[in-house]
Amino acid sequence: MSEFHFYRPDPEWLMASERKFALARLSRAGFRRAAALVALVAALAALLLLQRTQVVKVSYEVDLLRAKRAELSSLNQRLDRQVDALQSMANAELVARQSLGMVSADPSKVIYLDPPTNGSPRALWSRVKRAFDR
């Protein structure tokens, strides 16, 4: 019984294999070109992967900023309504009555002034002084 060997000592087989693989052999310059091409393809793939990662990261940040903008817009609208309520005349009167002690005027003590005919501020001021001197 013969043993099986991976290596064939037959020189014809070896010569046929060498001729077959001769096309696959590269010269030193050819190997360098092939290595440079592989390195270039790997660098481009890495660059594309990095770019895609950055796009995903920026997209996530944009989504977070949009949510924050919506939240702040809602807060701004709520604060605008609160400012409008605090600047209303009803609130001003309520604060004046409770905090500043404002009371309703006695209608008999109200003085009405007619607008000045000549329109001068000095004439208006003299009429106000005369009304309070009574």
The residue that leads in pLDDT, 13 or 26, is: 26
DSSP E strand boundaries for the chain: none
Q: pLDDT at residue 54 above 60?
A: yes
pLDDT tens for each residue of 98-131: 988 888 888 888 877 766 666 677 777 777 788 7
Q: pLDDT at residue 134 above 90?
A: no
Residue 25 to residues 13, 19, 38, 40, 78: CA-CA distances in angstroms? Answer: 18, 10, 17, 21, 76
pLDDT tens for each residue of 68-96: 999 999 999 999 999 999 999 999 999 88
Predicted TM-score (pTM) of the model is 0.45
